[in-house]
């Protein structure tokens, strides 16, 4: 198998409380339209169960048991894994499936390093890739589109400051953060 499904438990996020709205405002809809929480991938949900598809990089067997090496993970360290299932393309991706209001993938931004290009030599290739992949997905609030505004996103111990103009995220500054 090239990919697996992980069924896991939210352990570090606030859960829905009595009185919370059962609707959310997805960024893909501009942050203004509401949909039911079960029609979204919002992290605050009535149940603490998450589902992720990940790449299976390696299966390691030794005296301690079996260890799976995974890629493309969107979980926090220490996240409780409830189950692991193989991803089976013919069963998991029906050819006639419909995605409702999220009917196509969002456009990705081109990423340029701009004034922060000195970091290309300082950061590990995996870290550079993570920064570029994150910015390509446009982490700004959906209703923000000011080409002069400098936005920031923390990726591990790095604050990445960037502007977005004409479908390009230009990295202006990288600041290392030590908590």
CATH code, 12: 2.40.30.70
Q: Is 26 contained in some domain?
A: yes
If asked whether residues 85 and 115 sit together in one domain, one would say no
Integer CA distances (angstroms), 74 to 70, 90, 96, 167, in order: 11, 24, 27, 25
Q: Is 105 contained in some domain?
A: no
pLDDT at 146: 83
pLDDT at 111: 96
pLDDT at 109: 94
Q: Is 99 contained in some domain?
A: no
pLDDT at 13: 66
Contact 150, 161 (CB under 8 A): yes
pLDDT at 86: 96
**pLDDT tens digits, one per residue of 124-147:** 888 899 999 999 988 887 777 788
If asked whether residues 80 and 25 sit together in one domain, one would say yes
Write down which residue in 64, 92, 120 finishes a domain. 92
Domain coverage including residue 155: 110-176
Extract the residue ranges of the chain whose pLDDT is less than 50.
Answer: none
Of the chain, the end-to-end C-alpha distance in Å amounts to 39
Q: What is the CATH number of the domain that holds 151?
A: 3.30.2310
If asked whether residues 67 and 133 sit together in one domain, one would say no
């Amino acid at each position: 198998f090239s990919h697996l499904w992980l069924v896991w438990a939210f352990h570090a996020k606030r859960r829905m409380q009595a009185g919370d709205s059962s609707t959310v405002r997805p960024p893909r809809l501009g942050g203004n339209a509401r949909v039911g929480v079960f029609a979204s991938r919002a992290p605050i949900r009535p149940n603490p169960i998450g589902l992720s598809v990940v790449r299976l990089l390696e299966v390691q067997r030794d005296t301690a048991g079996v260890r799976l090496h995974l890629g493309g993970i969107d979980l926090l360290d220490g996240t409780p894994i409830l189950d692991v299932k193989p991803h089976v393309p013919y069963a998991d991706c029906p050819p006639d499936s419909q995605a409702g209001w999220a009917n196509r993938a969002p456009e990705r931004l081109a990423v340029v390093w701009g004034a922060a290009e000195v970091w290309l030599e300082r950061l590990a290739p995996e870290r550079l890739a993570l920064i570029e992949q994150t910015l390509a997905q446009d982490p700004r609030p959906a209703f923000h589109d000011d080409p002069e505004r400098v936005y920031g996103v923390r990726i591990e111990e790095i604050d990445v400051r960037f502007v977005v103009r004409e479908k390009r995220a230009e990295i202006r500054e990288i600041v290392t953060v030590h908590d």
